[in-house]
Amino acid sequence: MADDQALIRADGIAVDFGDRKILHDVGVAIAPGEIVTLIGPNGGGKTTLVRVLLGLLRPGSGRVRRRARLRIGYVPQRMHIEPTLPLSVSGFLALGRRAGRDAYRAALAEVGVAHLLDSPVQQVSGGEFQRVVLARALLREPALLVLDEPAQGVDIGGQRELYRLIAGLRERRGCAVLLVSHDLHLVMAATDRVLCINGHVCCTGEPATVTDHPEYRRLFGPIDREFAVYTHAHDHEHDVHGDVVETETGGA
């Protein structure tokens, strides 16, 4: 991908927390309208990479280049709102961009929770609140949506709904999507590119549709078109310290 095409591009990113190497030599670029899914083991640095891309964390080395005036819509992993804060959903949306009740209602309707407009945020369930946060991101008319583990704690039916919704948003709005997935193998079918992150980019590729894998169909039942399987193609392994070990010829 040429430099001028990418919405955001990170090169040679390294992040250390004390003695722990979290990321080293990670590069990623996201093109307009592209859906990229980050997968990888816990502690592998997915969320750290997202924080670097969002500008929330300055990397020890490497650089992040964003297209000028790039608008990002961000949906963080978990949000806890203080019970002492009397905030309604519309008040929450207004914090991102002041747009008026009609716009708030439309944004909530787009993610299927229009009925929540005047609810106190503390009374909204976790899954619904995530959609509210997504609505707040959409109100900014982002060129890039970043969702950190949106499917975490959501059952498989809820995940299907969510993936359908995200794929629909990309279709309608043409925004790029960066998605962090909690699952190592099952990703959103609309994903254009998967990056497996474990300290570095272990492998990258396109996911295969679930229908190609009778084994998954047997395992998950009729999970149909919203899911796809990603087959890892690692040319190395990690030892217990997370360091790269070259795979023996013939491989695992």
Partner 1 sequence: MDLFADPFVWRAPVAGIGVAVVAAPLGCFVVWRRMAYFGDTLSHAALLGVALGVVMGVEPMLGVLLAALTTGTVLVTLQRFSEFAVDTVLGILAHSTLALGVVVLSFFENLRVDLFSYLFGDILAVTPGDIGWILGGGAVVLMLLIALWRPLMALTVHPDLAQVEGIPVTVVRLAFILLLAIVVAVAMRLVGILLITSLLVIPPATARRFARTPASMALLAAGVAALGVTAGLGASLTWDSPAGPSMVVASALLFVAAVSMAPARA
Taking residues 82 to 121 in sequence order and writing x for each that binds partner 1 by CB under 8 A, - otherwise, the string is x-xxxxx--xx--xxx------------------------
Residue 196 Cβ vs partner 1, minimum distance, rounded to whole Å? 24
Q: Under 8 Å CB-to-CB from 137, ≥6 apart: which residues?
A: 73, 74, 75, 96, 145
**Comparison of 85 and 245: residue with beta carbon closer to partner 1:** 85
Helix (H) or strand (E) segment spanning residue 17: strand 8-17
Residue 67 Cβ vs partner 1, minimum distance, rounded to whole Å? 15
The span from the first CA to the last CA of the chain, in angstroms, equals: 32
Residue 23 Cβ vs partner 1, minimum distance, rounded to whole Å? 18
**Comparison of 121 and 189: residue with beta carbon closer to partner 1:** 121
Q: How far apart are CA 210 and CA 230, in angstroms?
A: 9
According to CB under 8 A, which residues from 127 to 146 bind partner 1?
133, 136, 140, 146
Q: List the structure tokens of 111.
A: 């993610």
76 makes contact with partner 1 (CB under 8 A): yes
Length of the chain: 252
Q: How far apart are CA 61 and CA 176, in angstroms?
A: 26
Residue burial 149-162, b: 16+ Cβ < 10 Å; e: rest: bbbeebeeeebbbb
Residue 192 Cβ vs partner 1, minimum distance, rounded to whole Å? 23
Helix (H) or strand (E) segment spanning residue 4: none
Among 33, 38, 40, smallest CA distance to 10 is for 38
Residue 240 Cβ vs partner 1, minimum distance, rounded to whole Å? 24
Count residues contacting partner 1 (CB under 8 A)? 24
204 makes contact with partner 1 (CB under 8 A): no
Q: Which amino acid is at 242?
A: G
Proportion of the chain in helix, strand, coil states, percent, rounded to 5 = 30, 30, 40
Residue 45 Cβ vs partner 1, minimum distance, rounded to whole Å? 17
Taking residues 54 to 73 in sequence order and writing x for each that binds partner 1 by CB under 8 A, - otherwise, the string is xxx---------------x-
User: Given candidates 74, 216, 227, 230, which one binds partner 1 under the rule CB under 8 A?
Assistant: 74
Binding site for partner 1 (CB under 8 A): 51, 54-56, 72, 74, 76, 79, 81-82, 84-88, 91-92, 95-97, 133, 136, 140, 146
